[in-house]
């Protein structure tokens, strides 16, 4: 008892059918022994010999075909040699090619349809001189329609999602147009597409014709991938019948070694076209393909030139700008215009710059965080991002399509392009579904397979929550722009590192110089001061000379004070510090008392409020308050009622101190000088100072992990804002 095995296959092996169509003959000859390995059963009609008697015989013993074996053996896969021969006073097309150790001999009857050279020349000229891609395909369709007289001739283009669409067509006899209609991917499955890359044309003269079997010496399957007269698979024939076509002819359009599309011809009744006509159609298709490639090449050259110009400007601008943030922000519009995206955003930490139609900043930051959690480190692109992640990320339709990438390994810098939702209505040629069928093979096994669809009734699909697809050029632009930015970041980082090292070395030399000068000048200045004091005692009666010497001593004291502060600044930059919790209340009280005495301002009112503990280094904290409170007391001392207010508050992980005075204030044009060494404000004439104290305060604050800034208006006082760390 035989057990029946249920099998499931999506389609038959269409290149191993062991059958040809009745309008031709096929002989397979071993490429080494030249013996006949296989032959079509109808060969007896041509050679008056039984097919079975030919198997194993040397081909030259059967018939003198005058085959040039040397030339055939040199052929590349897919190439062939074509001749016209005479058998029994009849002309035949005679085609030879080499494949898998067999020499294939195809023979077709030569019809007396004369080659219409004038029409062919005119069609060729028209295709060569087309001005647009659309016109190119129209001219090809019109030419093939005229030559073949098929009722329907169309250009079928394969889309990136696997489906196909009719982009050009010529129909006769009142047939409905397929222009703009889509066909599902499984109409032309992957196995068929692979075959169409091998053999560029296929013909079915009559789907109901009785096909001719091939017999072989070893009774094995014969690979008919490159055979022009082979029959198509039953599934393909059934598909044609369901579509109302009883004859078909198609030619592959191959671009960059990929199946770009097909010239597909259909007729509602059986139809024969000669070998010559098929060759004309193939040659015109090749010509049209070359024309299309030229158009696309010119487009690419134009696009590349435009992109190169923009890319050079972008790179120059990026290198010139001081920061990555400002450089990208200034060039964001130019980057956007290189693609068909509606909007673009650049994120630097929590800063976000937008251009064009984009979602809000919060939504952009949510996408950035999502990408970071996913660990996406390459260019990511999707035209269904809104559909796939809309609920999870609370997205808007403006983020239907995205293309993004991080610019660094720290996930701080992020670039993203946006395409908005497009409510597309796709027209389909029939419901895209297959029907499951079954059959019993010769061994009694049940085989379940999928038959071609039977419905070709038009229907419309509404595609929601998706954007237009990202094109190859757009993806290329994104990759190249991101590469330029990343290279610029690396270049700037390298330069910054070098400059930092140079600056560090210069600072170390300056600090050493400052320390040496400050230290070594003490002795000569001390000697000068002592000599001046002795001279002053001798000239005590000469008031004029005594006054001049007093001035000299005062200037020497200023120089000594300045050197002391330079020495403090030098030590501040180099010394190791240990941060600790400090209650500055006692320090502030001590400084206020000392400064009021030092500046002779007993009437200055100093209010100290809300003192909070800080995290710092005790000596540095003292110096910072000494300089800021000192400035407040000094520059408010000329007021009728000088007043200083010192208070603090907590802000997140920081303690903020304000030191506010009602003094002379600072002019706006002097703001940039505030913390620069030896710089004094333009309205401080007659007030003691050397322009070092605030530089020391700023250096110390930064070393403690804090910061210092100010708010001021000329004539309305100044507030120093000290930001300390909170432990």
CATH code (residue 265): 3.30.450.40
Q: How many CB atoms lie within 10 A of CB 570?
A: 21
143 lies in the same domain as 239: yes
65 lies in the same domain as 93: yes
644 lies in the same domain as 706: yes
Round to whole Å and give the CA distance between 545 and 87: 139
Which residues does 336 contact at the CB level (< 8 Å), separation at least 6? 343, 344, 355, 356, 417
- Which residue matches tokens 């010119």? 298
| 566 in any annotated domain | no
Task: Tell me what pLDDT residue 1 has.
Answer: 37
| 72 in any annotated domain | yes
Task: Tell me what pLDDT residue 291 has.
Answer: 94
353 lies in the same domain as 292: no
| 532 in any annotated domain | no
Please tell me the total count of domains within the chain: 4
186 lies in the same domain as 268: yes
Question: How far, in whole angstroms, is CA 354 from its chain's centroid?
Answer: 18
Whichever domain contains 79, its CATH number is 3.30.450.20
Domain finish residue from 109, 143, 173: 109
Helices 543-574 and 618-636: crossing angle in degrees, nearest 10, is 140
Round to whole Å and give the CA distance between 349 and 330: 17
Which residues does 185 contact at the CB level (< 8 Å), separation at least 6? 161, 162, 163, 164
153 lies in the same domain as 175: yes
Reduced to 3 states (helix: H, G, I; strand: E, B; else coil), residue 184 is coil
Q: Quick check: 224 and 41 in contact, CB under 8 A?
A: no
Task: Tell me what pLDDT residue 672 has.
Answer: 79
Q: How far is CA 698 from CA 573, 701, 703, in A?
A: 11, 5, 9
Domain finish residue from 109, 139, 168: 109
Q: Can you give the residue range of the structural domain that contains 396?
A: 321-423+464-495
99 lies in the same domain as 124: no
Q: Quick check: 166 and 181 in contact, CB under 8 A?
A: yes
| 536 in any annotated domain | no
Task: Tell me what pLDDT residue 221 has.
Answer: 84
Output DSSP code: residue 187: G
| 137 in any annotated domain | yes
Task: Tell me what pLDDT residue 7 has.
Answer: 47
Round to whole Å and give the CA distance between 58 and 34: 6
331 lies in the same domain as 476: yes
Whichever domain contains 704, its CATH number is 3.30.565.10
93 lies in the same domain as 239: no
Buried b (16+ CB within 10 A) or exposed e, 194-229: ebbeebbbbbbbbbebebbebbebeeeebbbbbbbb
Strands (E), 430-520: 435-440, 446-451, 458-463
Round to whole Å and give the CA distance between 631 and 684: 11
Task: Tell me what pLDDT residue 575 has.
Answer: 58
Which residues does 251 contact at the CB level (< 8 Å), separation at least 6? 200, 201, 262, 263, 281, 282, 285
| 153 in any annotated domain | yes
Q: Which residues of the chain have pLDDT under 50?
A: 1-12
Task: Tell me what pLDDT residue 290 has.
Answer: 94
Domain finish residue from 449, 472, 495: 495
| Nearest Cα residue to 99 out of 26, 42, 43 | 26
Task: Tell me what pLDDT residue 3 has.
Answer: 41
Round to whole Å and give the CA distance between 391 and 283: 53
Task: Tell me what pLDDT residue 343 has.
Answer: 96
489 lies in the same domain as 634: no
Any bridge partners for residue 166, and if so which? 156
34 lies in the same domain as 124: no
| 490 in any annotated domain | yes
612 lies in the same domain as 711: yes
| 12 in any annotated domain | no
């Amino acid at each position: 008892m035989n057990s029946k095995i249920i099998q499931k296959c999506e389609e038959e092996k269409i290149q191993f059918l062991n059958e040809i169509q009745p309008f031709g003959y096929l002989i397979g000859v071993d490429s080494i022994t030249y013996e006949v390995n296989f032959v079509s059963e109808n060969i007896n009609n041509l050679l008056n010999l039984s097919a079975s008697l030919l198997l194993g015989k040397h081909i030259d013993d059967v018939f003198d075909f005058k085959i040039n074996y040397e030339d055939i053996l040199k052929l590349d896969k897919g190439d062939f040699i074509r001749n016209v021969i005479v058998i029994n006073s009849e002309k035949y097309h005679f085609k030879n090619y080499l494949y898998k150790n067999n020499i294939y001999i195809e023979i077709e009857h030569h019809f007396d349809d004369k080659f219409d050279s004038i029409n062919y020349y005119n069609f060729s000229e028209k295709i060569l001189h087309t001005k647009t891609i659309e016109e190119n395909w129209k001219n090809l369709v019109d030419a093939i329609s005229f030559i073949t007289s098929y009722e329907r001739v169309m250009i079928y283009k394969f889309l990136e999602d696997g489906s196909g669409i009719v982009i050009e067509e010529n129909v006769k006899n009142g047939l409905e147009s397929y222009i703009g209609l889509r066909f599902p991917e499984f109409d032309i499955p992957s196995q068929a597409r692979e075959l169409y890359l091998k053999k560029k044309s296929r013909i079915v003269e009559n789907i109901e014709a009785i096909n001719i079997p091939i017999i072989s010496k070893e009774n094995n399957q014969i690979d008919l991938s490159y055979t022009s007269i082979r029959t198509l698979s039953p599934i393909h024939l059934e598909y044609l019948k369901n579509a109302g076509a009883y004859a078909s002819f198609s030619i592959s359009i191959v671009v960059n070694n990929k199946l770009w599309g097909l010239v597909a011809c259909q007729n509602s009744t059986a139809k024969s076209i000669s070998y010559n006509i098929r060759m004309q159609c193939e040659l015109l298709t090749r010509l049209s393909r070359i024309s299309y490639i030229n158009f696309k090449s010119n487009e690419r050259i134009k696009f590349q030139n435009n992109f190169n110009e923009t890319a050079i400007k972008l790179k120059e601008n990026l290198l010139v700008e001081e920061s990555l943030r400002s450089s990208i922000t200034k060039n964001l519009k130019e980057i956007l215009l290189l693609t068909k995206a509606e909007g673009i955003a650049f994120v630097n930490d929590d800063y976000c710059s937008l251009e064009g139609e984009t979602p809000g900043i919060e939504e952009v930051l949510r996408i950035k965080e999502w990408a970071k959690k996913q660990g996406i480190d390459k260019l990511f692109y999707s035209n269904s991002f809104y559909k796939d992640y809309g609920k999870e990320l609370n997205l808007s339709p403006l983020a239907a399509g995205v293309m993004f990438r991080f610019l660094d390994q720290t996930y701080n810098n992020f670039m993203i392009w946006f395409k908005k939702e497009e409510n597309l209505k796709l027209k389909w040629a029939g419901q895209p579904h297959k029907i499951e069928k079954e059959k019993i093979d010769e061994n009694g096994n049940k085989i379940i397979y999928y038959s071609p669809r039977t419905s070709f009734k038009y229907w419309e699909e509404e595609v929601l929550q998706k954007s237009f697809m990202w094109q190859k050029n757009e993806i290329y632009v994104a990759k190249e722009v991101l590469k330029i930015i990343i290279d610029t970041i690396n270049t700037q980082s390298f330069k910054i590192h070098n400059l930092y090292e140079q600056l560090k070395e210069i600072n170390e030399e300056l600090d050493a110089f400052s320390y040496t000068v400050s230290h070594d000048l003490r002795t000569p200045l001390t000697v000068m001061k002592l000599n001046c004091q002795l001279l002053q005692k001798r000239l005590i009666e000469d008031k004029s000379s005594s006054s001049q010497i007093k001035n000299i001593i005062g200037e020497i004291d200023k120089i000594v004070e300045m050197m002391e502060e330079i020495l403090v600044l030098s030590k501040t930059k180099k010394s190791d510090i240990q941060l600790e919790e400090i209650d500055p209340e006692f320090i502030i009280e001590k400084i206020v008392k000392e400064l009021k005495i030092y500046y002779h301002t007993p009437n200055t009112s100093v209010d100290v409020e809300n003192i909070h503990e800080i995290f710092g280094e005790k000596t540095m904290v003292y110096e910072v308050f000494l300089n800021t409170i000192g400035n407040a007391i000094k520059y408010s001392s000329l007021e009728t009622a000088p007043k200083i207010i010192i208070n603090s508050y907590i802000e997140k992980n920081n303690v903020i101190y304000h030191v506010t005075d009602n003094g002379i204030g600072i002019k706006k044009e002097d703001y940039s000088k505030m913390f620069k060494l030896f710089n004094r404000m333009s309205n401080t004439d007659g007030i003691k100072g050397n322009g070092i104290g605030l530089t020391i305060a700023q250096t110390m604050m930064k070393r403690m992990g804090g910061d210092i800034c100010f708010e001021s208006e000329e004539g309305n006082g100044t507030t120093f804002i000290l930001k300390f760390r909170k432990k």
